Amino acid sequence: MRSVARAASASRPSFLKSIPRTAALKLINTSIAHPNSQVAAPNSPRASIRTATMSTESTQSQACCNTPAVTSGTYKEKGEWIQADGLKTYATGSKDAKTGILIVYDIFGFFPQTLQGADILAYTDKEQQYQVFMPDFFEGSPADISWYPPDNKEKEKKLGEFFQTAAAPPKTLPRIPKIVDELSKSKGIEKWAIIGFCWGGKIVNLSSQENTKFKAAAACHPAMVAKDDAPGITIPYIMLPSGDEPKDDVEAWQKAVKVPNVVEWFPDQVHGWMAARGDLSQEKVKKEYERGYKLVLDFFHKHLGASSKL
């Protein structure tokens, strides 16, 4: 256990660096294996402690995707609100599309930048359109963005408690296959991809293992990416780390992953630039936000398109 504690403290994800050490370790320790889409109980033999990790390789955006203009002010979403497994869910895209994308948002929940991203994923690729769904896993009580950065004891306490309760991966993981099954039946979806931001990137990692319901995965400015998760990933995977993610962790993850994968660094962007923390009033952020979504769409087009072998 002492070696786990040393590893965790040495490579704590960027958004956990200011959380009390004990709270961060508890959160890391909730990252558990779940063969057959089942979550292993924390005390079961299958449960395994993970430390934070992440990955590195490059790709160019293909011409098939022309991202619409990104809005930096108030954004009016194009989709609608539905229910999925009892959760309020943002749904967008052509209702005729047979391919779905499930979005796992960051700890701040529904933000204009994330809703705009969902619409970009739904409508940009004219050759491969999607129905896109973003469930409210935190059920109306996401982390308050005023807690970040956690630069005093009160913020530390609130953020630490949030990660130990609402954001504990075992709470979210069992709902994902249920949501996919329900939406597949009600919306006519035949195949799926998954994308997650920050905390959502960890959920994506754990949802991409054996017997996953997804055909491709994406993690943007991911948190808690563990080297130990990588060998179990069974689907093509793209990762977009920001300049805040630990490079050693990313490299260790990619060395261990066995599936086709791409890692594109955004070294001048902050953790969260493609979701709630993206300041789209800044031209550079706006451009890199757009490029990030293009890369994801190119990857999904390759691995989910009609020519894909999956």
Using one digit for the tens of pLDDT, what is the confidence trace for 39-57?
333 333 333 223 233 322 3
| Residue 230 pLDDT > 80 | yes
Q: Is residue 24 part of a domain?
A: no
The H or E element containing residue 216 is: strand 216-220
| Residue 85 pLDDT > 90 | yes
Number of domains present in the structure of the chain: 1
CA torsion, points 236, 240, 245, 246, in degrees to nearest 10?
A: 50
Q: Is residue 168 part of a domain?
A: yes
Query: Which range (2-11, 63-72, 125-134) has the least confidence?
Result: 2-11
Q: How confident is the model at residue 226 (pLDDT cuts 50, 70, 90)?
A: confident
The H or E element containing residue 299 is: helix 283-304
Nearest to 130 by CA among 176, 72, 78: 78
Q: Is residue 198 part of a domain?
A: yes
| Residue 156 pLDDT > 50 | yes
Q: What pLDDT is stored for residue 309 in this prediction?
A: 52
Q: How confident is the model at residue 70 (pLDDT cuts 50, 70, 90)?
A: low
Q: What pLDDT is stored for residue 117 in this prediction?
A: 96
Q: Is residue 121 part of a domain?
A: yes
Average pLDDT over residues 205-232: 94
Q: Is residue 259 part of a domain?
A: yes
Range(s) of the domain holding residue 94 = 62-305
Q: What pLDDT is stored for residue 246 in this prediction?
A: 86
| Residue 142 pLDDT > 60 | yes
Q: Is residue 292 part of a domain?
A: yes
Query: For residue 262, what is the domain's CATH number?
Result: 3.40.50.1820
| Residue 18 pLDDT > 50 | no
Average pLDDT over residues 22-28: 39
Q: Is residue 276 part of a domain?
A: yes
Q: What pLDDT is stored for residue 266 in this prediction?
A: 87
Instruction: Name 215's Cβ contacts closer than 8 Å, sequence gap at least 6.
Output: 191, 192, 193, 235, 236, 303, 304, 308, 310
d(CA 104, CA 132) in angstroms, rounded, equals 11
Given the structure tokens 């896993």, which residue do they identify? Answer: 137
Q: pLDDT digits over 91-104, tens only?
A: 999 999 999 999 99
Q: How confident is the model at residue 184 (pLDDT cuts 50, 70, 90)?
A: very high
d(CA 89, CA 137) in angstroms, rounded, equals 9
User: Which two structure tokens, joined as six digits, stand for 268?
Assistant: 């001048």
Task: Note the pTM of the prediction, 2 decimals.
Answer: 0.79
| Residue 260 pLDDT > 80 | yes
Q: Is residue 101 part of a domain?
A: yes
d(CA 171, CA 240) in angstroms, rounded, equals 25
Exposed e or buried b for every residue in 253-278, given b needs 16+ CB within 10 A?
A: bbebbeeebbbbbbeebebbbbbbbb
| Residue 37 pLDDT > 80 | no
Q: How confident is the model at residue 281 (pLDDT cuts 50, 70, 90)?
A: confident
In residues, how long is the chain?
Answer: 310
Q: What pLDDT is stored for residue 307 in this prediction?
A: 59
